[in-house]
A and B are shown apart, each in its own frame.
Chain A
Amino acid sequence: MKVAVCVKQIPDPADPGALDPETRTLKRDVKLILDESDSYGVEMALQLVDAAGGGEVVLVSMAPNNERSGLSTALAMGAASATLVSDPALVGTDALTTAKILGKIISDQEPDLVIAGSESSDGYTGTVPEQIAGVLGWPSVTAAKAVAIDGSAMKVERQTDAGYDEVECSLPAVISVTAGVVEPRYPSFKGIMAAKSKPVVQMTVADLGMTAAEVGWAGSGQEVVDVTVAPVREAGEKIEDDGEAHLKIIEFLESVKAI
């Protein structure tokens, strides 16, 4: 079985660098790392291939400056190879165009299954996976928490507010996974060393048969019009436990309609 995993490489959230005031996007001249949101997809893919008794996990990514640190982590975890699209023309590319670009690589790869994160940690639109499915004309299952493959069909437990739905669909398909559904492994020493010689194919916009006008700011139907600082979290309310604290907690949960 062949599983393609979309992995975004992002600035380290612990040290994200600065916003570019002109474009209102994050400056990406810092070192990028594997988006933690995508480490779950990589882990799930590795487990599925294991369960299938063979096959491979391939990575697809679009990132500036031929950045591959994040890919290295995923390769060290066990993915077999990666395709990376990088091109100065891509600055400003919106979610839909990203999906078109990733979709092109994916269709060349002919995987049985595509896994992406539900939403990235930085851009956060939460739309790319479904758009990839749309571009490819494949079924899309969001919020997958458990996946079982049976020949050319797939059963997915899909997380809902109340529990989970059981969904079935044919392959190939695109699923998105939410943080926490599996525990991503840490790369082993052997994995890290092996990653060095795994192939990372680099592609430009032209290699994909696209033009600069179709991508980047030029090709984007989406624009960041304003950026505001997130409001500071307000201090919570402290309740001293005088033996009745649980009642106050119940009262609070009822007031926010949590129970």
Chain B
Amino acid sequence: MVSDYIPPLKDINFVLEHIAGAHELAGLDRFSESFDASMVEPVLEEVGRFMAEVVAPTNVDGDTTMSKWVDGEVITPDSFKAAYKQYVATGFGSIPFDPTYGGGGFPWTVGVAIQELLTSSNMAFSLCPLLTQGAIDAIEHHADDKMKSAYLPKMLTGQWSGTMNLSEPQAGSDVGAVATKAEPVGDGSYKITGQKIWITFGDHDMAENIVHLVLARTPGAPPGTKGITMFMVPKYLLDGQGNPGEKNDVACVSIEHKLGIHGSPTCVLSFGDNGGAIGWPIGDEFTGMRNMFTMMNNARLSVGLQGLALAERAYQGSLAYAQERRQGTAVGAKRGVQSPIIEHADVRRLLMSQRSWIDAMRCLIYTNAASIDRSKALSGEEGEQAREMADLLIPLSKSLCTDLGNELTSLAMQVFGGMGYVEETGAAQHYRDIRIGAIYEGTNGIQAADLVGRKLPMRGGGVVMDHLAALDLKAKELASQEGMAVFAENLETAVATARDATSWLLEHGATDVNAALAGSSPYLRMLGTVVCGGLMADLAMKADKSSDAEFAEAKKVSARFFGEQILPTANGLLGAVTAGPDDLFALTPKQLA
């Protein structure tokens, strides 16, 4: 009964080309040699087919068979191993990376589209390539050339996978508390000892080697984030030919039992039980945290994308079910005949809310990705502007889209009625799987703190204010569009509200940090919704660029629904943003009981 995954290629291609401007990236020096924009559609077509036919069918098996810990090793479901082997053969993982190491040299934006197709097909499975991409990103930027040529070619294809080892029992949100030790051996290598927890795909049997990137402290390192260095610790040390040889001193001592993503092993890794795992520093001593940040944008965007990807998959199932299931007689239908539930207004609301938010999320994530690409490809003021945009959008993409992932998979389940709550329909799995998105890669609370603490203060609030000013212009442009007058008015109002909220935070946050932090989460939701309002205005104005009139109509209605029925919710958050911390802290823990 679990429905198949249909790659939403029309939507993806449209947003890439007309909203994110991915095709224009081909005109930038960085991409001009390797990126042929006319190949985006053919590539995504084949990637989509592969994901739908090979990866999507493993989703339920991953959930029920699960990855298991057996005698100190992780065994993934057989269906995962088979699909992964084929994935490696396609080379799809290499598309957005440096051609020097076998990559396709396409922009990250196209890589994000590929990731959407992969993640919708099977989120648990997708985490292995996802973490590998994160590790590649770090190595590409910070490792020396020798390391790059030894590791990157095989990591790009996925023959070897990667992990990110940050978390420890006392170091979760507080990464600065990392205690894992690295002792220099004297030959450039280090002996690593300590325990890491929650390590995604920290051990498994799909790849020939696993390249762990580990945050650790060298002797005499200053406390906190300033004393952290990043190390590369392969599961198997390379032999003289550069192939996996002797096993390193890293052990997976257990895996977690989780709410969802059962196919993805979440490992406790013990480094150095037998004298120390051999590792090599990536970048200079004490630059570990800074180096993490260079890849953090991509990683956070990828997690935001999970919210979009699972909302899309869950929506597809709910839309199919709404046409099959008959209950009640819809208004205007023949009496005595049960109508498909899609004919009921409230079910329509469940569907339109999903449809519209999914469109908005795709616009947000892809635009964010394109701004990352531009920030790397452009220099001077243009590059700086793109970087500011990328940095501002990251917490919005990560938090808003994972929160919505939770909300929308819940709406999808609602469409199924009781059948949504039983596992048979698959709706419950999507709901369980996406729950982690709001927690890992910096909890959504930490993202909100990042927004008010780091992003809002950029240029003294100028980056946010400039963006709001641009949205005002967009509202004016939209007003002349047929059928969009109310949307345009709502956009203007919501932008004004966001400006008030932003001014309040800038004013009060400067003297009372807790005032800004108290309102950070509702502010993120508000700003995210308003930014999406601007992107949906774009969608409404550009929809006619599609040669498919039905598609254009659908996008316009989706955008109008957003503008008239979702965007106004942003205004209601002003009270929470500007209330300050007093009531939050008014009660003692005892009184809170």
Task: Say if A and B assemble together.
Answer: yes
* Chain A contacts to B: CB under 8 angstroms: 14, 69, 72-73, 76, 185-190, 192-193, 195-196
Chain B residues, CB < 8 A from A190: 91
Chain B residues, CB < 8 A from A189: 43, 90-92, 94-95, 104
* 18 A–B contacts from the bound complex (CB under 8 Å): A73-B46, A76-B42, A185-B89, A186-B49, A186-B53, A186-B90, A187-B46, A188-B91, A188-B92, A189-B43, A189-B91, A189-B95, A190-B91, A192-B46, A193-B43, A195-B42, A196-B38, A196-B39
The SS class assigned to the A binding surface is helix
CA distance A185 to B49 in the complex (A): 12
Number of interface residues of B (CB under 8 A): 20
Given contacts A185-B89, A192-B43, 8 further A-B contacts (CB under 8 A): A186-B50, A188-B92, A189-B43, A189-B90, A190-B91, A192-B42, A193-B39, A193-B104
B36 at the interface (CB under 8 A from A): yes
Chain A residues, CB < 8 A from B92: 188-189
Query: B91 to A186, Cβ gap below 8 A?
Result: no
B100 at the interface (CB under 8 A from A): no
The 4 closest A-B pairs by CB, nearest first: A189-B91, A186-B50, A188-B91, A188-B90
Query: B46 to A186, Cβ gap below 8 A?
Result: yes
CA distance A14 to B9 in the complex (A): 14
Closest Cβ neighbor of A187 among chain B residues: B46
Q: Which of A69, A188, A189, A192 has the most CB of B within 10 A?
A: A189
Chain B residues, CB < 8 A from A187: 46, 90
A104 to chain B, nearest CB (A): 29
B35 to chain A, nearest CB (A): 11
Query: A186 to B54, Cβ gap below 8 A?
Result: yes
Query: B42 to A72, Cβ gap below 8 A?
Result: yes
B86 at the interface (CB under 8 A from A): yes
* Chain B contacts to A: CB under 8 angstroms: 6, 36, 38-39, 42-43, 45-46, 49-50, 53-54, 86, 89-92, 94-95, 104
CA distance A131 to B31 in the complex (A): 50
Select B89's contact among A69, A72, A188, A192, beta carbons within 8 Å.
Answer: A188
Chain B residues, CB < 8 A from A69: 45
Q: A186-B46, A187-B90 are in contact. Are A192 and B54 (CB under 8 A)?
A: no
The SS class assigned to the B binding surface is helix
Q: Which of A69, A186, A188, A196 has the most CB of B within 10 A?
A: A186
CA distance A195 to B41 in the complex (A): 13
Query: A186 to B104, Cβ gap below 8 A?
Result: no
Chain B residues, CB < 8 A from A14: 6
Closest Cβ neighbor of A73 among chain B residues: B46
CA distance A42 to B92 in the complex (A): 21
Q: A76-B46, A192-B42, A192-B43 are in contact. Are A186 and B95 (CB under 8 A)?
A: no
CA distance A196 to B42 in the complex (A): 9
Q: Which of A69, A73, A193 has the most CB of B within 10 A?
A: A193
CA distance A192 to B106 in the complex (A): 14
Query: A192 to B39, Cβ gap below 8 A?
Result: yes
Closest Cβ neighbor of B88 among chain A residues: A188
CA distance A192 to B36 in the complex (A): 12
Chain A residues, CB < 8 A from B86: 186
Chain B residues, CB < 8 A from A195: 42
CA distance A189 to B90 in the complex (A): 6
Q: Which of B45, B46, B49 has the most CB of A within 10 A?
A: B46
CA distance A73 to B48 in the complex (A): 13
Chain A residues, CB < 8 A from B6: 14
A12 to chain B, nearest CB (A): 10
CA distance A185 to B50 in the complex (A): 10
Closest Cβ neighbor of B52 among chain A residues: A14
Chain B residues, CB < 8 A from A188: 89-92
CA distance A73 to B89 in the complex (A): 16
B482 to chain A, nearest CB (A): 28
A11 to chain B, nearest CB (A): 15
Chain A residues, CB < 8 A from B104: 189, 193
Closest Cβ neighbor of B102 among chain A residues: A190
Chain A residues, CB < 8 A from B43: 189, 192-193
CA distance A193 to B43 in the complex (A): 8
Query: B91 to A196, Cβ gap below 8 A?
Result: no
CA distance A118 to B224 in the complex (A): 68
B143 to chain A, nearest CB (A): 24
Closest Cβ neighbor of B49 among chain A residues: A186
Closest Cβ neighbor of A186 among chain B residues: B50
Closest Cβ neighbor of B104 among chain A residues: A189
Closest Cβ neighbor of A76 among chain B residues: B46
A145 to chain B, nearest CB (A): 22
Closest Cβ neighbor of B114 among chain A residues: A189
Chain A residues, CB < 8 A from B53: 186
A4 to chain B, nearest CB (A): 23
Closest Cβ neighbor of A72 among chain B residues: B42
Q: A76-B46, A187-B46 are in contact. Are A196 and B90 (CB under 8 A)?
A: no
B151 to chain A, nearest CB (A): 20
Chain B residues, CB < 8 A from A185: 89
Chain B residues, CB < 8 A from A72: 42
